[in-house]
Amino acid sequence: MDLLLPVDLTIATAKTLVRLRRDDLVRLCESRDLEPTGTKPQLAEALLQWRDNQANDFSCPSSTGTAHPPSTIKKRGHRRRHSPNRSRKSSQKTATPPVLLRSDRVHIGEPKTPPLLNAGMQNDKPVGEPELELDLGTLGLEDREIPPEKLQKLEKIGSGGFKDVFIGKFKGRRIAISEFRGQLSAMDIKELKLLGGFDHPNIVRFLGVSIPESTRDTPVMIVSELCTNGDLFDYIRNVNPPSLHKVLNIMLDIARGLEYLHLRKPSIIHRDCKSSNILITSKGTAKIADFGLAKVKQSTRSMVRSLVGTVNWQAPELWHAHPKYNHKVDVFSCACVYWEMLQWHLPNKKFPWEGMNEHAIYEIVGTKKQRPTLSGLRKQWCHEIVDFIERMWAQEHQDRPTMSEVVETLEDLIKLY
């Protein structure tokens, strides 16, 4: 299969897009979940509108637990630890306050998930889309409803997409409140239904939903456990490098969370596994979050067809006009997250393909079959985990291990280190 047509939408104009064949424009629209109908100028306009909406939306982070300091905060210097990396106990001080509660926390922008927009979208709200009715009984969440007056909102810790995230209080305990702007989308309701059925220590715990009589005055709010160390993306940049043993344990937490999703009946593919969608508790436990793009896979045989996720962490089989893929896309993305974690000791921490546009990533990963550099990581950490990451991000999905194999391998490595 050929990769998507190499058009860099970040610099494209209506004039350059109209020069393309209509079939090529249709492919570009389909790959971004845009309605592939209309004339060439209409298709070009839809693509440019998608790009502009994406740029506006990505100015705000989307992670449920990510804190965002004022732009005047300067990035702290990162000191390399002098204690051996392979000690069994992390030398991180327990007295260190959680990342979300620090005044000097650092947040650095990273690519956000492209919104699933169509040509009828304007700014933040769908145009002409009927309001979706939220029936908690149908969703199996009738016992999870929380009256709005029972919730107390405190400081805002995140914003992006169509929701804002706050630290809040419910029954005297600190919780996270996701407050939706405007009406809920079909994706939001699907995420609610999924969250209500999850029960695993490495999945962010859903506590309930608050539905006001009128969303015009009071928004719909999802209540979940508060992971006070924020997301893994920021955690790596705000916490001194832990021991190899601790790093392997965080990797195992992530693997167990994804394994739980894959082994459910029906199986669930997360489809957007990245460091900003992994939250860290006060005890340093990692939990999978953000299920807005999760896909329920009804058949164990079928391959799924649709394009979602964030390109920097994506498996190459997702980059076709009509992609076919399975749960192994999560294994590939998980490998990219593990690679991020192995940057922990470096003063200049990178995320996969930082600074590259999507066309460049398609070329280097899809065509040239290259991966982020592993230079020096075997010596710094251990060769076994680096070798295993190479298996996890293999080009062909059948060459990658299952998440159950990842769990088993990490459990064995933890016994060694």
Q: What is the number of other CB atoms lying within 10 angstroms of the CB of residue 349?
A: 16
In angstroms, rounded to a whole number, what is the distance separating the alpha carbons of residues 186 and 129? 11
Q: Average pLDDT for residues 389-399, to the nearest whole number?
A: 97
The widest CA-to-CA distance across the chain, in whole angstroms, is 63
CB 85 within 8 A of CB 243: yes
71 domain-assigned: no
95 domain-assigned: no
Domain count, the chain: 3
**Co-location of 296 and 216 in the same domain:** no
- The whole-number pLDDT of residue 136 equals 67
The domain that holds 204 is classified in CATH as: 3.30.200.20
- The whole-number pLDDT of residue 187 equals 67
Token pair belonging to 239: 């916490």
Band of the pLDDT at 344, cuts 50, 70, 90? very high
pTM, entire model = 0.69
Q: Average pLDDT for residues 257-281, to the nearest whole number?
A: 93
Residue 268 has pLDDT above 70, yes or no: yes
**Co-location of 247 and 208 in the same domain:** no
**Co-location of 164 and 309 in the same domain:** no
**Co-location of 252 and 389 in the same domain:** yes
Band of the pLDDT at 127, cuts 50, 70, 90? very low
Domain extent for 406: 230-416
69 domain-assigned: no
185 domain-assigned: yes
Domain boundary among 225, 253, 287: 225
**Co-location of 34 and 143 in the same domain:** no
pLDDT one-digit tens code per residue, 232-243: 999 999 999 999
Band of the pLDDT at 52, cuts 50, 70, 90? confident
Residue 41 has pLDDT above 60, yes or no: yes
Residue 291 has pLDDT above 80, yes or no: no
- The whole-number pLDDT of residue 310 equals 78
Q: Average pLDDT for residues 131-156, to the nearest whole number?
A: 77
The domain that holds 402 is classified in CATH as: 1.10.510.10
pLDDT one-digit tens code per residue, 191-204: 777 788 899 999 99
